Structure 1
Amino acid sequence: MHTTKRWNVDVVVSEENEGEAARTWAEVGVVADDGTALRGHGMARKHPMDMDVPEIGEELAVSRALSDLSRQLRQVAAEDINDNTGTPWRPT
């Protein structure tokens, strides 16, 4: 049997400028078929001496948010493995 599922990840990016400095926040979210929702968060700061290239802050903030979401998904999977097998999952 072959099964295909699609998980859509929602990405929201917000930027705040303060003079020559800037901060970019990102939030990513996924909702599983069972209704479980997870949200990852990330932030990037532009140093006042850096060139103003907003895409870099967006890329860094989103990558950090995705990393946070990934960590949460691994934790959920580890808990599910433990619940279903009685054996704690150990990453290799």
Structure 2
Amino acid sequence: MEHVTTWNVEIIIGEQERSTRAEARLRTSAGSMRTGVGNARRNPRDRDVPEIGDELAVARALADLSHQLIEATAEDIEAITRRPAHLSE
């Protein structure tokens, strides 16, 4: 590998009553930072299993962060090429 870099993601999870909020904080090696946010709410009829709310809130926070990174990538490409970016898998 010619280029190796490390990006770190910190996950913060908070719970209040039946609601769980997660933040996925990404710090790049260049020092930039992005935060994805996800929420989950337990139905009052459901059993209280905090891990399930944590999983869902974290998944949503990571999905939010992922979308932010895709949008930033498209913007960076468009700034260089001066044409619309088409990102596909």
| Same fold (TM > 0.5) | yes
1:51 CA drift (Å): 1.1
Deviation at 1:61, TM superposition (A): 0.1
Give, in whole Å, the separation in 1 of the partners of 2:26 and 2:71: 15
Question: Which structure 1 residue ranges, 5 or more long, are not aligned?
Answer: none
CA deviation after TM superposition for structure 1 residue 55, in Å: 0.2
Q: Shift in Å at residue 91 of structure 1?
A: 2.9
TM-score, normalisation: structure 2: 0.91
Alignment of 1:47-58 (within 5 A): 47-58=43-54
Two-structure CA RMSD over aligned residues (Å): 1.2
Q: Which runs of 5+ in 2 are unaligned?
A: none
* Match in the other structure for 1:12: 12
Structure 1 residue 13, shift from structure 2 partner: 0.1
**Alignment match, 1:91:** 87
1:35 has 2:31 as partner: yes
Aligned pair count reads 88
TM superposition shift of 1:66: 0.3
Quote the Cα distance in structure 2 between the aligned partners of 1:6 and 1:91.
23
Q: 1: CA distance between counterparts of 2:23 and 2:10?
A: 8
**Percent identity of the aligned residues?**
44
Displacement after TM superposition at 1:34 (Å): 2.7
Indicate the residue corresponding to 1:65 in structure 2: 61
Q: Which whole-Å deviations, capped at 9, do the CAs of 1:25-44 have from their partners, x for residues lacking one?
A: 00011122333211000000
